[in-house]
């Protein structure tokens, strides 16, 4: 049978993949997608915990409401992020991470 650890492990791996993506890829949009993946991995852990931690018989909906809020925030964040990427593209004509070094020390 499936245990809580399995779910957490899946979430962990998903998070790791997201992290690797963010570090490896040079295309900002793909980085952004990996970011979303990391976020959803976190949501998975929350839902797993809410299911496995029963409050007087029913799953713990506080965790799930937190997931609800993260999803909304993520949505807003994606909107703003993509707007920035568009503005960036208009300035640099490229979405490559290497071109964006203005804030160098």
Partner 1 sequence: MTSYNAASVVLLLPLLSAFFILVLGRTVGTTVSKMISVGSAALCFVVSVATLGVTNDSGVLVSFLNVGKLHADIGFIIDQQSRGMLFIVTFIGLLVHVYSLGYMKEDKAQSRYFGSLSMFMFSMTGIVLADNFAMMFMFWELVGLSSYLLIGHWFEKPEACEASKKAFLTNRIGDFGFMIGILTLWAASNGELGFAQLRESLSGGSVSGPLHSAPAWVLTVAAIGIFMGAVGKSAQAPLHVWLPDAMEGPTPVSALIHAATMVAAGVYMLVRVSFVIAASETAMHLIAGVGGFTALFAALMAVQQNDIKRILAYSTLSQLGYMVMAVGLQAGEAGMFHLYTHAFFKALLFLGSGAVIYACHHEQDIWKMGGLSKKTPITFLTFVIGTAALMGIPGLSGFFSKEEILGAAYHDCGWLFTAAAFTALLTSFYMSRCVIVAFFGKARSENADHAHEAPLIMTAPLMLLSIFAIASGYGFFSDRLQAMVPHAEHGEGHYLVMGVSIAAVVIGAGLAFFLYNGKDKDPLNIKLFANRFYIDEIYAVIVKVFQDRLAWIVSGLESIFADGLVARLPAAIACRVGKTARAIQSGHLQGYTFALGAGLILAIYLVVQVLPKH
Partner 2 sequence: MPSVLFYLFAAITLLFGVGVVVARNPVASALSLVCSFTGLAALFISLDAYFIGTLQILVYAGAVMVLFLFIIMLLDIKAAEGRQTNYATAVGGLLLAVLFTVQIAMVLGDFKEGNKTLADQTLNLGAAASKTSLNTIKDELAEGTLPDAKLMGFTLFDKYPFQLQVVGLLLLAGTVGVVVLSKRDRGGKEEVS
Contacts of 62 (CB under 8 A, 6+ apart): 50
Total interface residues for partner 1 by CB under 8 A: 13
Using CB under 8 A, which residues numbered 79 to 98 contact partner 1?
97-98
For partner 1, give the closer residue by CB, 56 or 104.
Answer: 104
Bridge-based pairing of strands 54-55 and 58-59 is antiparallel
**DSSP assignment of 45-89:** HHHHHHHHSEETTEE-HHHHHHHHHHHHHHHHHHHHHHHHHHHHH
| One residue of 1, 2, 23, 80 binding partner 1 per CB under 8 A | 23
* Shortest CB 62 distance to partner 1, Å: 24
Using CB under 8 A, which residues numbered 11 to 30 contact partner 2?
12-27, 29-30
Residue 95's binding partner out of partner 1, partner 2, none, with CB under 5 to 8 Å set by partner kind: partner 2
């Amino acid at each position: 049978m499936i245990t809580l650890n399995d779910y957490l492990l899946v979430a962990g791996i998903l998070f790791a993949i997201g992290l690797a993506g963010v570090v490896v890829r040079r295309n900002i949009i793909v980085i952004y997608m990996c970011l979303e993946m990391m976020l959803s991995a976190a949501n998975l852990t929350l839902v797993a915990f809410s299911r496995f931690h029963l409050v007087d018989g029913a799953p713990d909906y506080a965790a799930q409401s937190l997931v609800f809020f993260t999803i909304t925030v993520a949505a807003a964040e994606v909107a703003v992020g993509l707007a920035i990427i568009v503005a960036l593209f208009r300035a640099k004509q490229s979405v490559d991470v290497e071109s964006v070094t203005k804030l160098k020390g």
